[in-house]
Structure 1
């Protein structure tokens, strides 16, 4: 077996392995001898199965094992030549060449390593910005929203239902003259104009009088969640019982405050308004961060910091982006890519630039997190996964187990580190609040 290796750059290497047929045969026989001592075959005592019998029955599988062991040795020997260790390898090695002829193998293996990333000077590209301010009007508007949210509904004497009113009504839906499951309710409460129902339904209710019945014709959206109803014409029979409105408090007082925060005895209106101010400020900051600061910083830092990218990881990212985009292709394109390998390769290459940027940013963020001592605990990851499960009505333990099996938890951790990092880089609140 002949092994040669060379570093392409600080993050990539190529190992060339020429494995002769004799080496493969010797390794196959060695594995067969070991297997013969362990395998159980009817008619032979344990440990006394002839090697020939083992080879006759399991040669194909044993040959694969022999080749794998030889490739592992080739990689180990190649790493020694370039003064690298196995634990420095990133991702799975890629065979960029594999020729097998007359029992001999001529292979070229690409290997990638974690790059050295120097982020010194990153502060120079942090965008300047002003800490978001909160006006009294914004605080009042937010409190009014909360007052509306907790306000009780009351029946009102009104002739005709209008947008903004709450309707108490019965309804039943029909498609092709047949009632469908989940399309019926009695004494349902709906805010007209809230767009909670499918397009056309709430508009069709406007103008109804109390006690009046009406057939409302609608069409389910093409992307409706129930496939049996998607893009179907439907008729809803409705009967209006009451018109209601919310009895909203004119201002925040001590009694209403207790309804908003029932479990806090020492809360005051002043403390609550300060809490609302903090919330609005945080919401403004997150909007500014996600829509302006973060994109600017990412573009600038990726341009400023340069290092060798691990090719194996870049190729994995290209594959991931291409797979994620597959469903967005037209049927014609899908058929074209299945039939034409060159077209498939060219389309895949379109994702290289974005993949390189994504991989580069991942390593930069990882290094910045170390520099700024950003850490994410296992408990934080657990809380994030559980919260996501509760939000979508999924069993939390099963959701966590699925994420473990699919290898998604590292991505969850990376997302949390990124969120913490950008908040840490851009947070000015503590420095500037004294001057407010």
Structure 2
């Protein structure tokens, strides 16, 4: 064996190679002959240049390529013999080569770490109770009726503006230096109070106003606001409330319920409660799963491959870039955002890599697998919750990659179920 293996940490190995006798002349000669067939050298037709001339022109490059192939082959054989699960690309160091005599080099490789978890039996967690209120069902009902609602002015002048109502108002913003920009001005602007359409504090500042009332609302723009000269800027908004409006919704009758695809108003209520319960149950489970992972990571220390963290961080960066650009961020603003929050992104990537390694380790330990029956059940559940036809959902998951992602999620979900059976969940 021409190599030895050293452990740098839990996920990094150094393979030290030494070949006291190394003659690459045969490989070089073969490579020169191969090169001769394709090279164009001035004064000769393609592929007809003499071998000695090809070697003279391309010899150093060919020898370097031959050495690189030798190094790669030896590393591959060693990795196979040692049964190392390599992550990313190797890093070669200390390469010493004497033509026709010897070569030595070191190869640093990252591997999947061996994750040994502490006993989970004593761990205790709390899961949020799931309840669905009449108000939540009513909000869903209003979403269905929204397109049929009529906007009506509140005629009582004593009524105070409240969350959920609509304000018709004039406003003008004034900066600390007295500037009154046109882009901070609006007339007869319609705003739903509580929608979050304006910067934090603006809509709250309007709550309680009466029709015809004027008010100054003093605010500070967020530090991460997308307009550079307004970040952390203190601005006074002069507001005049012209009207208060409300949406008047029609009665949710059996006839309307049928138009929306339900058998009756009672059927709508029952199915809405069932769907909301399923959604809340999912949210409670996801929150519990997050707490379980946080605890397992805190309780178990192990090294993670930098290559996996870098790969996950790049994925998060690309995903977040798409989200930011959909919100109107340009390349400069996206770059500024990442400069500010790069540490958070790296921390999140590390957490996700550790989570994945822990769950994969436990899935193997529990012998958890996602079956075709699990897949079919999940597809049927998705169709039920989304209101789509089963065939539509099946068509979506006919894509191999999308199906693979769902199978991975199912395996992960079943692994969490096994974990919860071993810990205490209140």
Is the shorter-chain TM-score for this pair beyond 0.5, marking a shared fold?
yes
SS at match of 2:139: helix
Match for residue 406 of structure 1?
none
Post-superposition CA distance 1:221-240 (Å, at most 9, x none): 11112334322344555554
| Aligned position for 2:269 | 273
**1:363 maps onto 2:360 in alignment:** yes
| Counterpart residue number, 2:227 | 226
Change (3 A) 1:113 1:236: closer
Aligned partner of 2:18 in structure 1 is: 18
Distance in 1 (CA, whole Å) between partners of 2:156 and 2:94 is: 81
CA contact (8 A) 2:161 2:210 kept: no
CA-CA distance at 1:145 after TM superposition: 1.9
Q: What RMSD over aligned residues (CA atoms) do the two structures have, in Å?
A: 5.4
Q: Relative to structure 1, is the Cα distance of residues 275 and 329 closer, same or farther in structure 2, using a 3 angstrom cutoff?
A: closer
Q: What are the equivalent positions in structure 2 for 1:51-70 lying under 5 Å apart?
A: 51=51, 54=54, 61-70=61-70
Report the secondary structure of 2:361's partner residue: helix
The SS at the match of 2:228 is coil
For residues 260-299 of structure 1, the aligned pairs below 5 Å read 262-264=259-261, 266-293=262-289, 295-296=291-292
Question: If the length of structure 1 is used for normalisation, what is the TM-score?
Answer: 0.60
Partner of 1:146: 140
Aligned to 1:202: 203
* Deviation of 1:167 (Å): 0.5
Give secondary structure in 1 for the equivalent of 2:181. Answer: strand
1:153-192 alignment runs, 5 A limit: 153-159=151-157, 161-164=160-163, 165-171=165-171, 173=173, 177=179, 179=181, 183=184, 185-192=186-193
Tell me the CA shift for residue 244 of structure 1: 0.8
Distance 1:285 1:115, change over 3 A: same
Alignment partner, residue 245 of structure 1: 246
How many angstroms apart in 2 are the aligned matches of 1:180 and 1:30?
Answer: 76
Quick one: distance in 1 between partners of 2:188 and 2:350? 56
1:398-413 matches, within 5 Å, as none
In 2 relative to 1, CA 97–229 (structure 1 residues): closer, same or farther, beyond 3 Å? same
| TM-score normalised by length of structure 2 | 0.61
What whole-Å deviation, never above 9, does each CA across 1:53-89 have from its counterpart, x for those lacking one? 5556556654542232111221344357x386xxx85
How far apart are the structure 2 equivalents of 1:225 and 1:301? 35
Secondary structure in 2 aligned to 1:38? Answer: coil
Separation in 1, partners of 2:408, 2:123: 15
Classify the secondary structure of the residue corresponding to 2:43. Answer: coil
Write the distance in 1 (CA, Å) between the matches of 2:242 and 2:414: 54
1:308-328 CA distances to partner (integer Å, 9 max, x unpaired)? x9x8x7342355689989956
Alpha-carbon distance between aligned partners in 2 of 1:355 and 1:19, rounded to the nearest angstrom: 41
1:241 deviates by 3.3
Shift of residue 287, structure 1, vs aligned partner: 2.9
Q: CA deviation at 1:117?
A: 10
Aligned to 2:45: 45
- For structure 2, list consecutive stretches of 5 or more residues without a partner in the other structure: 318-337, 383-399, 419-426
What residue in structure 1 maps to residue 94 of structure 2? 98
Match of 1:419 in 2: 409
Q: 1:130, 1:205 → 2: CA distance? A: 37
Q: 1:62 to 1:374 in 2, by over 3 A?
A: farther
- Asked if the contact 2:168–2:190 (Cα under 8 Å) also holds between the matched residues in 1, the reply is yes
| Residue number among 309, 316, 340 corresponding to 2:307 in the alignment | 316
Q: How far does residue 282 in structure 1 lie from its aligned partner after superposition?
A: 1.4
- Work out the CA distance in 2 between the residues paired with 1:354 and 1:202: 37
**Which of the numbers 346, 370, 373 marks the counterpart of 1:373?**
370
Give the Cα separation in 2 of the matches to 1:128 and 1:214: 48
Q: Does structure 2 retain, via aligned residues, the 8 Å contact 1:314–1:359?
A: no
Return 59-68 or 33-42, whichever deviates more.
59-68
SS of residue paired to 1:271: helix
**How far is 1:286 from its partner?**
1.7
Distance (whole Å) between structure 2 residues aligned to residue 16 and residue 202 of structure 1: 66
On the 8 A contact 1:7/1:13 being kept in 2, the answer is: yes
